[in-house]
Structure 1
């Protein structure tokens, strides 16, 4: 086989590999493209809400985290009533319809509000991330049909830090990004 023929074979192999990668990550690349062009919308989300988060249930879950993180008196200590406001906000209705109709929208807003309202003396990002996945689990969508986590640890950290570092005017886009990364396209 001559050198030209080998180079063409390698290009065909590289092309096939490239097509495989593009196929495997086409949804993620489409989300990024829609983000860049400000065309990202909420789609393929779960309409059936099985679990409505309450203040009492959330605080019980947060107290369960306290020991995991050293039992500090500051961890999960509410600074004001903003946490209750965050929970109420995700369950808001207008004319009998939820303002955030899907489970994914409620979860993304919960993550956003708990981080941005900084309701606790310590642990806001950890509490927000935990409540986010706990809420998804209680609504039956945290794990895929095969029992595997739908949100990898690194994605949960990235979501949390992305929100923490975002500007308030980016809220709606942050929520849309998260919803599109946890919706039915990602099962």
Structure 2
């Protein structure tokens, strides 16, 4: 039986939840979000700080501003156990919360988007005025992947659309087993 894969995102509709703001480094400068969504190791000196933009219940999985995944230690342990070679954890201090939280940086990219099976794919065109992006994905709606191209990956970002975070059914099931809060899964 083929492995199933899921887009993992932050359940923003969870009632009473917190909302995290923009990440900054130890000097107070904003951490460039794209640095943590490229699918490669990031080099950040010192500890990252995340403000609580909206007070509420802390979550095991949530996004800081611009979709950067932040995980509580128990959720991080799932990724370490099942996909250690494809993740990097960067300590983050969440203002007013002494518990151990980490930025989850997924360091693997897989070329697997199934353009025909996806609901809608848009590409950058030459007349869009961004010649450096011509031919690349501009938008991906209802993304579907070709699981035969994933190989042994259990967590990854899809090539060309690295804003999406994809996990295997094994990781999804493990997060659900521990009752990880804040997770939302959509099969891809």
TM-score of the two chains, using structure 2 as the length reference: 0.30
Q: Which structure's CA Rg is the greater one?
A: 1
